[in-house]
Amino acid sequence: MIKIALLGYGTIGSGVAEVLKVNKDSIAKKAGQELALKYVLDLRDFPGDPIQEKIVHDYEVIVNDPEISVVVEAMGGEEPAYTFVKRALLAGKSVATSNKALVARYGPELIRIAQERNINFLFETSVGGGIPIIRTLNTCLTADVIEKVTGILNGTTNYMLTRMTEEDAEFDDVLKEAQAMGYAEADPTADVEGYDACRKIAILTSLVSGQQVDFEEIETQGITDIEALDIQYAKAMKRVIKLLADSRRTEEGYCALVAPVMISKKHPLYNVNDVYNAIFVHGNMLGDAMFYGSGAGKLPTASAVVADIVDIVKHSHCNIKTFWSPEKLPLADYRKARRRFFLRTSDPEAAIEAAFGAVEYVRLPGVSGEVGVLTEQMSELEYEKRAAGLTGIRKMIRVE
């Protein structure tokens, strides 16, 4: 029997306890032995809840108990998660975590400690919640040079953009709705500014390149500037606006970007709506692949955390190798990537064509004083140079 300690009894933590309980028998079959939750670390008490008998308030109880071989970190944030996880690994206990902030910052160090001790540090749910993308990159796509990873990695913003599209609603209104539904937090900054998606694409780019990507270096734009009018333009072009986290291999190296992008029906992520997430991957041999599922939510995320535990139990004396060295990956300028650009501008057509040459115009009924413009494909550096010739640009949105 494997004894587990759970750090944090919030949404994901309580989900892990629930999955372990509901699917006890099938999990024991897959893991080859029974899994038992021994401790739950939380500052709070839960009187009346059966979990109360497992609650401890002192981490020393867990880290010093030789019976505990697996620690599940579900607290979130960098501290004290980092200290607790590192101490667990140093004490020879394998760790499963859902904490993207922890993994984006300290991934290579924690992976190295686990490798040195022949134990495991798994973090499937740090990106894509219930979608098995980390394990897929680590164990399934190993024969490929991955040339492109593009994901809808944040459920809150995808829900908001879906509502804005379906209801022709403005950002502020759908944000209130999302908060009322529990899909957005009281302080939605990390989601709507793209910071959450940024950490996740940093993790994926690190895994794809095998080197450490500093998330602070990734150009990140959120969806706070997206208006109902932008979505009307997108609709007129038979496109939708999605917050994409994109990483691609160019001749100058990997470049990464988080930004709202207009995508067409042909794009594999076009139909990913509501709180769902999906990750598109292009390999030089595999071609296109796409992985879709619940990117967040208590039970889907907890299910994937428990799958990490099962993998840890199946590899009790065998480190599952993860290629992510602490060596920093210098990112190429994201403006080297080539795509089309959409802009709304009050410039006259002659000026637009002087700047961009042949373009497609998009005019919305009832909208005057501006025109929508869809450029040809070019690098973003080229776009910037050309756009400098115009004075009336109100908005630029990338197009794929």
- Asked if 287 touches its own copies (CB under 8 A), the answer is yes
Residues 251, 257: contact at Cβ < 8 Å? Answer: no
- Asked if 122 touches its own copies (CB under 8 A), the answer is no
Strand 360-362 versus strand 371-374 pairing type: antiparallel
User: In Å, how far from its chain's centre is CA 316?
Assistant: 28
- We find the least distance from the C-beta atom of residue 100 to its own copies, in angstroms, to be 18
- Asked if 169 touches its own copies (CB under 8 A), the answer is no
Nearer to its own copies, 25 or 60 (CB): 25
DSSP conformation class of 43: S
DSSP conformation class of 44: S
- Asked if 51 touches its own copies (CB under 8 A), the answer is no
Q: In the annotation, is 29 catalytic? A: no
Rg (CA), the chain: 23
- Asked if 36 touches its own copies (CB under 8 A), the answer is no
SS3 369: coil
Among 31, 95, 152, 352, which residue interacts with its own copies (rule: CB under 8 A)?
Answer: 31
Nearer to its own copies, 155 or 188 (CB): 155
Strand 276-283 versus strand 287-294 pairing type: antiparallel
Among 292, 332, 338, 387, which residue interacts with its own copies (rule: CB under 8 A)?
Answer: 292
Among 51, 56, 169, 289, which residue interacts with its own copies (rule: CB under 8 A)?
Answer: 289
- We find the least distance from the C-beta atom of residue 159 to its own copies, in angstroms, to be 15
- Asked if 182 touches its own copies (CB under 8 A), the answer is no
Number of residues near its own copies (by CB under 8 A): 56
Strand 338-345 versus strand 371-374 pairing type: antiparallel
- We find the least distance from the C-beta atom of residue 301 to its own copies, in angstroms, to be 9
How many CA atoms does the CB half-sphere of 213 hold within 13 Å?
Answer: 27
Pick the catalytic residue: 200, 298, 328, 395? 200
Pairs from 239-243 (Cβ < 8 Å, separation ≥ 24): 239/263, 239/264, 239/265, 239/399, 240/161, 240/165, 240/270, 241/161, 241/165, 241/397, 242/152, 242/158, 242/161, 242/269, 242/272, 243/152, 243/154, 243/157, 243/158, 243/161, 243/194, 243/197
Distance CA(202)–CA(157), nearest Å, equals 18
Write the single-letter amino acid at 93: K
Nearer to its own copies, 1 or 285 (CB): 285
- We find the least distance from the C-beta atom of residue 72 to its own copies, in angstroms, to be 12
- Asked if 28 touches its own copies (CB under 8 A), the answer is no
User: Rule CB under 8 A: which of 204-243 touch its own copies?
Assistant: 210
- Asked if 13 touches its own copies (CB under 8 A), the answer is no
Among 142, 189, 264, 377, which residue interacts with its own copies (rule: CB under 8 A)?
Answer: 142
Residues 312, 70: contact at Cβ < 8 Å? Answer: yes
Among 23, 224, 232, 250, which residue interacts with its own copies (rule: CB under 8 A)?
Answer: 23
Among 76, 112, 232, 283, which residue interacts with its own copies (rule: CB under 8 A)?
Answer: 283
Among 75, 131, 127, 70, smallest CA distance to 300 is for: 131
Residues 38, 5: contact at Cβ < 8 Å? Answer: yes
Nearer to its own copies, 5 or 310 (CB): 310
Residue ranges that bind its own copies, judged by CB under 8 A: 19, 22-23, 26-27, 29-32, 124, 130-132, 135-136, 139-145, 210, 268, 270-271, 283-294, 297, 299-300, 302-307, 309-311, 314-315, 318, 320-321, 323
Give catalytic residues, as residue numbers. Answer: 200
